Amino acid sequence: MKELLQSKSPLVMGILNTTPDSFSDGGSYVRKDIALRRIETMIEEGVDIIDVGGESTRPGAQAVSESEELVRVIPMVEAVVAAGKPVSIDTSKALVMQEAIRAGASMINDVRALQEEGALDAVAASDEVLICLMHMQGQPRSMQHNPHYDDVVTEVKSFLQQRVEVCQKVGINSDRICLDPGFGFGKTLQHNCELMKHLDSFKELNLPLLVGVSRKTMIGNILDADVNNRTNGSVVAAMYALTKGAKIVRVHDIKPTVEAVKLFCAFEQAK
């Protein structure tokens, strides 16, 4: 599993939300047969990792019970594993983490950075599963209610460094960790733009960066585009993140992003 984070080339993480209320594709993949076809399409389009989520983290989203989340995500985790692709589970719940790891998940993608009860122990209990620690100010239902920072870049880096140290203390080695600044999670448009501009400063943390800006409100605000017309902006933002040192880009639109990454790599590797 650690080989994923050690890959020399950038990785494309595809989003598979099995939720009725996610901001972009909510309701699209609730039915198992449709979700399974989506997995096949993502693999055909060249995805490197598939990120399965069963609870929306959009602003104002409603909480989901452990049992409901498990019903939504575990069959999808098993399907991706059976298809031979690495799978990430987008959750903050310890029980969901444990069951996903048991089903073969390669990564835990936690917007709460293992701060929920039992989450840290769930990841520490595995010798191999990777963890993505994300920064979020506040909670999903209220995080966009007037977020404030004195210095957003410094504060986000400081939080992530603290969470890395907590992980290391319980035996989660740094070679299993990647970091996500949390674009759109308790941040204004200005905060998001500052983070993107100074993304390269996160290199001082010496850990791979995951960036997820696909179809987000920040792109809609800049382009004055609704959520169904943000593909071009999402691809450009992902490529800008790569120029700033991102290792993984988390996206809805697999094919155009994979093609853009191939071009990026060809240019970067030229003599």
Instruction: Give the active site residues.
Output: 216, 250
Expressed in percent and rounded to 5, the helix, strand and coil fractions of the chain are: 45, 15, 40
- Angle at the Cα of 167 (from 3 to 160), degrees rounded to 5? 90
Give the DSSP H/E element, type plus range, for residue 260: helix 254-269
CA distance 241 to 197: 9
Question: Directed axis angle between helix 66-82 and helix 32-44, to 10°?
Answer: 40
CA distance 53 to 69: 8
Euclidean distance between CA atoms 185 and 31, whole angstroms: 28
Contacts of 74 (CB under 8 A, 6+ apart): 99, 100, 103
Q: What is the 3-state secondary structure (H, E, C) of 219-252?
A: HHHHHCCCHHHCHHHHHHHHHHHHHCCCCEEEEC
Q: How far apart are CA 215 and CA 226, in angstroms?
A: 9
Longest dimension (CA), the chain: 53
